[in-house]
Amino acid sequence: MPRGGRRTAVSYAGGVIETPRPGPRPLVSDEGPQRQLDQQAPPEIWGRLVAAVFALDGVVEGHSQVSPKSSRAVFFTDREAARSPETSLFPDGRLEPVHLHGVADTSVHLVLPPERGARLTELGWAEPHQYEDFGTEFMVYGPRDAAELDVVLAIVVESLAYARGD
C-alpha cells in the first residue's frame, strides 16, 4: 500500500482466489457466538489485517451490532442501509457486511454470494455461519501468515463489493 494512501482494491493471483487453504480447518465453537478456537492469527498478522481493512477506501470502523464487544464492524462511509437483507450481518440495522473478531479469535464474519461462499468453503478458507439466515453469511478463518493475510483481505474486499452491489 502506498504510504499515506488508502487501498482501493486487492488483487490476488489475478483477482479470484482459487487456491486451497493449507492444512486442516481450525476448530470452531458449536455454541454462540461462533468463534475460531485454534489456528488463530498471530497478534502481529491480526493487527496488520485490521489495519489493512480499515485502510480500504469508503469504510469506517465501528462497534458490531451483532458480535462480542471485542469485534470491529466494517461500515461504509457513504451508506447506512443494506440494498437487500442478505448483504448485511445485521439486516435490521446499519449495513454491516463484515466484522473482525478480536485477537483471541481472529476470524472474520462476512457476507458473500452463496455460490462464492460455498466455493471458499470447498477451498478451506471459510464455512457457513452457524446462525445464517440467508445463506450469505460466512466465517473466514484468521490468517496464520502474511500469504494468508493477503487472501483474507481479498475475501473482505469481495464481501464489500457484494454488499455494495458492485
Helices 114-122, 146-164: inter-axial angle, 10-degree rounding? 170
Tell if the pTM clears 0.85, that is, is over it: yes
Query: What is the distance between the alpha carbons of residues 128 and 80, in angstroms, rounded to a whole number?
Result: 25
Q: Of 8-17, 33-42, 88-97, 154-163, which range is least confident?
A: 8-17
Q: What pLDDT shows up at residue 15?
A: 59
Q: Hey, where are the domains in the chain?
A: 43-164
CA distances from 124 to 111, 127, 138, 148 (A): 16, 8, 12, 12
Strand order in the sheet with 98-100: 59-63, 72-76, 98-100, 108-111, 137-140, 126-128
- The one-letter amino acid code at 70 reads S
Query: What is the distance between the alpha carbons of residues 95 and 114, in angstroms, rounded to a whole number?
Result: 18
* pLDDT per position as a tens digit, 43-90: 999 999 999 999 999 999 999 999 999 999 999 999 999 999 999 999
Could you tell me which CATH class the domain 43-164 is placed in? alpha beta
Return the closest-CA partner of residue 149 out of 125, 129, 130, 127.
Answer: 125
